[in-house]
Amino acid sequence: MTVLSPSDPAAQGVDASGVLAFLDALEAAPGIEPHSLMIVRHGRLVASGWWAPYTPGRPQLLYSLSKSFTGTAAALAEAEGLLDFDAPVLSYFPEFEADITDPRSRAMLVRHVASMASGHERETVEEAYARDPAEPVRGFLLLPPDRDPGTVFAYNQPTTYTLGAIVQRVAGLPLSEYLRPRLLDPLGIGEVVWRHDHTGRELGFSGLYAPTDAVARLGQLYLSDGVWEGERLLPQGWAARASRPHIPTAGAMGDGGWDDWNQGYGHQFWISRHGYRGDGAYGQFCLVLPEQDAVIAATAETERMQEYLNLVWKHLLPAFGPEPLPGREAADAELRERLDRLALPPAPGRPAPPERAEEWAAAEFTPSGGPGPVRAAGLAQDADGWTLTLTEEGREGRLDLRLGGPPGWTVAEEPLPTAVSGGWTDAGTLAVEVAFLETPHRLALTCSLADRTLTAHWRTQPLHGRGLTDQRVPRGSV
């Protein structure tokens, strides 16, 4: 048996009606667009589904869920004697010795950056890159901490960046290459890609592209104290060490509505009201629930991440029972059928203009209002339908999108993975939604024939590379 082999939910004590209620609540929640869900119980995959046009196996931008993979790499480096969590950060960068004079910066230990407890009281990523664009670690260490390291939490990207930089330095490899034989291959995880910065380093704090299945497997490995199919991959006790609160976080994310961010921070994992988790911007989750012997992996597009977790606690947590549930074949079958037909609702619109087609075919559109992600748009018609060409703001990149396909989403792999929905809402208006399938993000665009203008905006703002053609796995580039 492979660890993620499937099982009927009832056989693992999971009430399918609770999962169905969660799906109902998730799809009804305003501001939450689910993309994928995997539920593992007792090491068996009891539920998995992707909301079309999202599909299994496609890598997704995990944003800060990347941090949990970086923390795992640090644990492996420690086990190999390459890294010491009680050593000063500066000891791994002796070339900075003369420059770093602040006593708090000099006292910062590896375990402090591993737990976001550098002593800074703020996010410093822009300051660090601005202070030393050529070497962000040096830029970070040149920023004097506000308090003694280990005494205050701040969600601060350069701490994880520095942790990842140490691992890459002592290992002599990028994070993804270091993890490949030690973690990724043993877990059965295929291609992953990690964004680099201009130094050539993989970011560590963000930028990892991996499928949802990889997230579920990492969570199951932690749930099993680092043992996978009988083989120990992580040091014994590391999962407990990484998932206990090393620094309190109450109030660090602002006032109100952040209950699951107020429980403390471990080593690149958040402590939750139930279990612990890695998470990333806009709803990328790896929930590890030791009391329930369960893992939940999910991707989404939402700014309401606490609301997402609230729905998990309300509907999924009670669905985990202590014993197998007899006589639940019908509920299990209903859940399987529901998971097989998950889909995001398409945007309204006709596949072709109801009239004035010649005018549309010759039309060029420019933005109304200030600059946005699209500088210009144009339409062309051929025997197979319509192509909408978008030109990016501030660059020469172009994106061709096919319109006029069957109802639902028109998926294309080139020039980058996208899905387009919508069409002509009346004779003078074209409105489309463009999902960038390797990211959480979606672009909404409307063209008006009357004044040849367009409006375009991101439903959620990309945090890496804000151009249209940046919204993909960055293969072969830094």
CA 285 to chain centre: 7
Q: pLDDT value at position 79?
A: 98
Check residue 255 and give its pLDDT. 67
Neighbours of 92 (CB within 10 A): 18
d(CA 249, CA 364): 51
Please report the pLDDT score of residue 471 as a whole number.
Answer: 96
Tokens of 83: 């890294």
Phi, then psi, of 468 in degrees rounded to 5: -60, -45
Report the CATH number of the 9-80+164-340 domain: 3.40.710.10
Largest Cα separation within the chain, whole Å, is: 72
Cα dihedral 238, 243, 246, 249, rounded to 10, equals 160
Mean pLDDT of all residues belonging to the chain:
95
Per residue in 137-177, pLDDT tens?
999 999 999 999 999 999 999 999 999 999 999 999 999 99
pLDDT of residue 397: 79
**Two structure tokens written together for 69:** 């993979």
Six token digits for residue 265: 């921070």
C-alpha 354/C-alpha 409 separation (Å) is 20
CA distance to 21, 51, 345, 374, 429, per residue, from 348 (Å): 27, 18, 9, 21, 12
List the beta strands (DSSP E) in 223-314.
227-228, 231-232, 270-271, 276-280, 284-289, 294-302
Report the DSSP pairing between strands 284-289 and 276-280: antiparallel
Query: What does the alpha-carbon distance between residue 170 and residue 279 come to, in Å, rounded to a whole number?
Result: 27
Radius of gyration of the chain (CA): 24
Within 13 Å of residue 321, how many CA atoms lie on the same side as its CB? 16
Class level of CATH domain 357-470: mainly beta
Give me the residue label for tokens 């991101």.
Answer: 458
Residue 141 structure tokens: 């260490």
pTM for this one? 0.96
pLDDT at 168: 98
Strand 270-271 to strand 231-232: parallel, antiparallel, or no bridges (unpaired)?
A: unpaired
Q: What dihedral do alpha carbons 456, 462, 464, 465 form, nearest 10°? A: 0
* pLDDT value of position 1: 34
Parts of the chain belonging to CATH 3.40.710.10:
9-80+164-340
- Kindly report the length of the chain: 478
Q: Comparing C-alpha atoms, which of 203, 338, 209 is closest to residue 284? A: 209
- Joined tokens for residue 325: 């549930």
The confidence score (pLDDT) of residue 2 equals: 47
pLDDT tens track for 200-221:
999 999 999 999 999 999 999 9
Q: Where in the chain is the domain with CATH 2.40.128?
A: 357-470
Whole-angstrom distance, CA of residue 125 vs CA of residue 345: 37
Over the chain (478 residues), what is each successive 10-residue block's mean pLDDT?
Answer: 80 98 98 98 98 97 98 98 98 97 98 98 97 97 98 97 98 98 98 96 98 98 97 98 96 80 97 98 98 98 97 98 95 98 95 92 90 93 92 85 85 95 96 98 97 96 91 78
- CA–CA distance, 246 with 225 (Å, rounded to integer): 18
**Phi and psi (nearest 5°) for 388?**
-105, 120
